[in-house]
Structure 1
Amino acid sequence: MDIKAIREMFPILNQEVNGNPLVYLDSSATSQKPLPVIEAVDEYYRMDNSNVHRGVHTLGTRATDKYEGAREKVRAFINAESTAQVIFTRGTTTSINYVAYGYARQKLQPGDEIVITPMEHHSNIIPWQQAAAATGATLKYIPLQDDGTITLEDVRNTVTENTKIVAITHVSNVLGTINPIKEIADITHDNGGIIVVDGAQSVPHMKVDVVELDCDFYAFSGHKMGAPTGIGVLYGKKELLEETEPVEFGGEMIDFVNLYDSTWKELPWKFEGGTPIIAGAIGLGAAVDFLSDIGMNNIYEHDKRLANYAMEKLNTIENISIYGPNERGALVTFNLDDVHPHDTATVLDSEGIAVRAGHHCAQPLMKWLNVAATARASFYLYNSVEDIDALVDGLLKTKEYFGNVFE
């Protein structure tokens, strides 16, 4: 990968922050947007702005072709069998809620089990808490190992014939743990359940094949993979999507409306009520093209090298705690001992280095780690080893600034 050429495709990176070149290490929160995505959205608004699926005029036809063309690009990108299985949503959170409300609440009853892990993002905890409370089902957790991984033995010991749903992240947004989804899916299916996967941190960084993984539902967001905010995807096996009730009702998702009852359109449109996120979907299609041209395997190897390099360099710093396993996704979560992560992030920002600080929407995991918050540096295809070197230098300056706490 030609990192210099890739960086030139991201205009936002060509700026200074607080008098220093921007070092953006917060891609797990949201990625930056390449020119092809910016231009695709701009072109839609400049040339094709119209609603989709409704008008027969030229602008409406062009907008519809681009919108549905983006769906086909996503289908191919994750290797779904049909575009009917690709639902456009506002993001991972909305996608998971669609499953928790439209599927789980229709299926669960007292005595049934929902199984998740303590490493989940709040978006993959709260919907299941609510589904359990509404149906009388039981919420169970697969325990974590000391390094923040899970074992298949613990999965087998937690998932039972009463388990109807296993909901799990593909890659932890805090620990970087990469979970063995295919093997967990096999265990889930052997017990008669279905698996729902949070792919927010995986789809941007690795090749995801939903057929190979044999997942039943898979959710991800566009804004973490170079696409605009406000657009995401819910993939589902067709028979399960057919059994899932819509969550939003109104125009666009209907077939016929009578005075006292209505019928829904076929998949995927029965889930896309109202004017859809047209520009976002077109931008997502452009992001898929951009990432595919570079190659997801190339991105995965690049991100893996950066994560390994970051682990190596950060481990040379004294009085630092690093959380998560050695084999990880494209992020490193850490704390300088006795320095609040918000203070760490503030000093780094003064050097032009953007990292995340807080609980990362994972408060149960923070409790498991026995910390209130952490700092997180996350990497993407436009980052380089020089960015990590800048991070290390910034952390050394942070230690110097708060030097009294280490005395």
Structure 2
Amino acid sequence: MARTTIGIVLNGVTGRMGLRQHLLRSVLAIRQDGGLPLQDGSVLWPEPVLVGRSAAKLRAIAESHGIDEENWTTDLPAALARPDVRVYFDAQVTSARVKALQMAIDAGKHVYTEKPVAETLEQAVELARLADAAGVKHGVVQDKLYLPGLRKLARLVESGFFGRVLSVRGEFGYWVFEGDWQSAQRPSWNYRAADGGGIVLDMFPHWHYVLEQVFGKVEAVTARAVTHIDRRWDEEGSPYEATADDAAYGIFELTGGVIAQINSSWAVRVNRDELVEFQVDGTHGSAVAGLHHCRIQPRAATPKPVWDPDVPTTQRFRDQWQEVPDNAAFPNGFRAQWEQFLRYVAEDAPYAGDLWAGARGVQVAELGLRSSREGRRVEIPELGR
């Protein structure tokens, strides 16, 4: 069987997401399974080239996972200059992303990146235009679409289960410790606006592609972004002022009159089955989907509760929902999208989540922040190319 090697620069693998999801569970997992089969019967073999700021960390990762010494470096321009490298991937902090992506595009590399693609809409649009002008292929991570629960939800939409979709209600978040008496679960830069932090910029691009690709185009946003916890402690145990928003309460208006309400918070204690859940209500049925599970209640099986605050209810509402079966094996979501992007590069297979989709996500975040500042509903205009 013919095998074609494709060099991939992975920048930011010393971070948790870059290491676990993109290097270990995606690129190296593809190699462990013998490579990526292509339509012509050949196999695409990803060859990772690790890039980051810490030589010690890169060396340790490379040695732990059998990556040759010549395939890690702190010199991004040198890595991009390699003729065997065809793809650049970015999992750095948001504030460092634009410059690196521009360098990769200028070097003629196809680019794949974590979101948000940039801190501002202007930067995101410029990146998309540069990539188009350079003739390189480009993509943005949209991992939530590949979660089993969301896959099942999309299947329900495609089957017509809901009838006319009326509303989407999402709850996301968990308590991120302040870092004083218990260490924080997230890096401190997430809570400093100057470093590109903030839950709106982090999560609204996620909600945008979920809503856009499963339910319809986002046409307007009304949001309130707040900083509930204004003092936190960094990785060295030093206190700092938290200047970025750590919670956001948004209303998104979609094509066809669908209303989506999504709460995002790093200052909420979880009282739900999963860290993110979406309830979708339609004329013919409803569903609740999380990371892995999805439960439904069709119209014919909908109970008929009656409001009576003086009498305790005897109905067990959660027991009245039916679990949607898997009906398929769901691979790691990050790996599934990596495989889709690599096939896009290697054989021009269909691919939807490009830098323009990433720019629309940044646009929704930017206008959500404007809505919060100005206390009003903001319509979302078309992006000019």
Q: TM-score range by the shorter chain?
A: under 0.3
Higher RCO (C-alpha 8 Å, min separation 6): 1
Q: TM-score, normalised by structure 1?
A: 0.23
Relative to its length, the structure with more strand (as a share) is 2
Q: TM-score, normalised by structure 2?
A: 0.24
Relative to its length, the structure with more helix (as a share) is 1
